[in-house]
Amino acid sequence: MAHDLTEHGITTSTTIYWNQTTPALYEAAIRNREGLLAQNGPFVVVTAPHTGRSPNDKYIIDEPGCRDVIWWGEVNRPLAQERFHALHRQMLDHVAGKGLYVQDCFAGASPRCRMPIRIITEKAWHSLLARSLFIRPAAEELKSHRPEFTVLCVPSFTAVPERDGVRSGVFILINFAARLVLIGGTAYGGEIKKAIFTIMNYLMPRDQGTLPMHCSANVGAGGDTALFFGLSGTGKTSLSADPNRQLIGDDEHGWDDEGVFNFEGGCYAKVINLSATMEPEIFTCTRRFGTIMENVVMNRDSREVDLNDDSLTENTRAFYPIDFIPGAVSSGVGDHPKNILFLTCDAFGVLPPLARLTPDQAMYHFLSGYTARIAGTEDGMSREPQAVFSACFGAPFLPLHPTVYAELLKARIHRHGACCWLVNTGWSGGGVGTGARIRIDQTRAIVNAALDGKLDTAPFVRDPFFGLHIPAACPDIPAGMLNPCEAWADREDYARTARNLAARFRANFAQFENHVSPEITAAFPQ
């Protein structure tokens, strides 16, 4: 294909760097002073002042093709087409004479569903991010690669709210008609990743009947696939990177009639307080050439990174190719899942470490998407954990109404007989400041017991506040830890806290009651 960007309106840039290799992008990023090389090879960048996503600055372009199907509101804010085109023209003028980096990639490991994408950036490290995170075409595939969606990321260009009709200098504009994303005013790498995920969440249910999912996935020795849904900080990446199971992907997947497939070819791990003992596979990736460390503190003299330092943000990240994880599934695909786990970081400490869900309960908790969001994942949050509800464990990335995704998940659970579980990776024996954070080795032991069938014949007890079925015993786990009622020292305090959280669940779910069956609403105790 002709190596130019005229189809994207870019005609006056000095040099276009096409599909450069990892070493070449390292050299360019260092030459451009975009970051520093750390001990053992990772590339360290700082994206301050924006060290997390800017959800209030994301807009969907209001045009006839999507107007009647978008889930408009707090998550998806509309922006007029003329505003988009004006900002696009200004951005093109801004990059005139600048060098730009291009990566042609795919989103979607399944040959049936993969989408050619193009990532155009002014920073070399963003091009390295795209090369590490998305699926890299073979040399022959590059010859015929034609992008179906393009991202133009120019952090040095900022909007003027009074002129451009946006909230701040930061903007993430998604235009489904033009098949174009514009990102300006922020260098945070997660904006590129989540823009592509939002696009997949729009196209796949409507065009292919495929369920897009904010989850990680792995497969056991017997070929049994497991899905791990959850928001940032709940353990998707850590729990799916299990040395006894093969990783399919750590964050975003699709589920169609043939099975599960990864959207990406890389991983995006949260690395604050990462432990070499508890999470050796991910820890090793933070010591490798080809990994990008985002907002991780580094000693400039020794070039050693400090994964325990949160002085920049608690939302420290690492991008790396998935094949950095030993035994990762090279094809990125797996069979229909046998187990589905909903991960929640319960800051109140009233949910059990593990509970089995009925299909109707699974739909209730999927639509609720409860967790305690860890400080630092998004700009503007306080440093204290906050209890939140995020539909489908990924509301910020859902262009369509959450019940669209819930119906697709419900149909697949029934068709393939998947067993559903709720897993609390947060606190036990009390909330933040009173109880203790459940250790990852304990959570892994509980999860493995469920995945390996060790709980199939175990007795279960039903808790009175959430209707959850809690195992009475689990190998290698103290019995008193499994049931929150027994784990708390003050049972009256537990009951009061549990009632308060249950009331929050019911209040949040009121928005869905007219969209779901009575059986799903009744799955939660009244």
- Among the listed residues 62, 224, 251, 310, the single catalytic one is 251
**Residue among 497, 491, 451, 495 nearest 475 (CA):** 451
Q: Are 218 and 249 in contact (CB under 8 A)?
A: no
Largest CA distance in the chain: 71
Strands 16-18 and 100-107 turn out to be parallel
Q: Annotated catalytic residue: which of 214, 245, 365, 469?
A: 214
431 within 8 A of 349, measured Cβ to Cβ: yes
242 is catalytic: no
Spell 360-379 as b/e; 16+ CB within 10 A means b: bbbbbbbbbbbbbbbbbbbb
The active-site residue out of 88, 123, 236, 444 is: 236
Q: Report yes or no: 198 and 397 within 8 Å, Cβ to Cβ.
A: yes
Rounded CA-CA distance 297/306 in Å is 6
Q: How far is CA 517 from CA 361, 469, 513, 520, 521, in A?
A: 12, 22, 8, 6, 7
- Rounded-to-integer distance, Cα 270 and Cα 447, Å: 20
Q: How far apart are the C-alpha atoms of 78 and 152, rounded to whole Å?
A: 19
* 3-state SS assignment for residue 332: coil
Let me know if 194 is a catalytic residue: yes
Nearest to 415 by CA among 242, 257, 290: 257
Closest-CA residue to 121 (of 46, 194, 50, 18):
18
CA distances, 417 to each of 336, 340, 359 (Å): 9, 10, 9
Q: Which residue has the tokens 């200098």?
A: 169
Residues, the chain: 526
From the candidates 194, 336, 365, 412, give the one annotated as an active-site residue.
194
Geometric angle at alpha carbon 252, from 246 and 257, rounded to 5°: 80
For the question of residue 98 being annotated catalytic, the response is: no
**Catalytic residue (choose from 8, 47, 51, 53):** 53
For this structure, is 214 an active site residue?
A: yes
Residue 444 among the catalytic residues: no
The helix/strand/coil state of 387 is: strand
Residue of 232, 291, 313, 371 marked active site? 232
Residue 266 sits at the vertex; the CA angle it makes with 158 and 204, to the nearest 5 degrees, is 75
Q: Which residues contact 267 (CB under 8 A, 6 or more apart)?
A: 133, 237, 249, 250, 251, 282, 285, 318, 319, 320, 321, 322, 324, 325
- Would residue 156 show up in a list of annotated catalytic residues for this protein? no
Using CA atoms, how far apart are residues 12 and 486, in angstroms rounded to an integer?
A: 68
Q: Is 236 a catalytic residue?
A: yes
Q: Are 292 and 316 in contact (CB under 8 A)?
A: no
List of E strands, 347-438: 354-357, 370-373, 386-389, 419-424, 427-428, 436-437
Q: Which residues of 60-89 are buried (b: 16+ CB within 10 A; e: fewer)?
A: bbbbeebeeebbeeebbbebeeebbeebbe
Catalytic residue among 186, 237, 313, 521: 237
Catalytic hit among 270, 317, 410, 469? 317
The residues that are catalytic are: 53, 194, 214, 232, 236-237, 251, 317
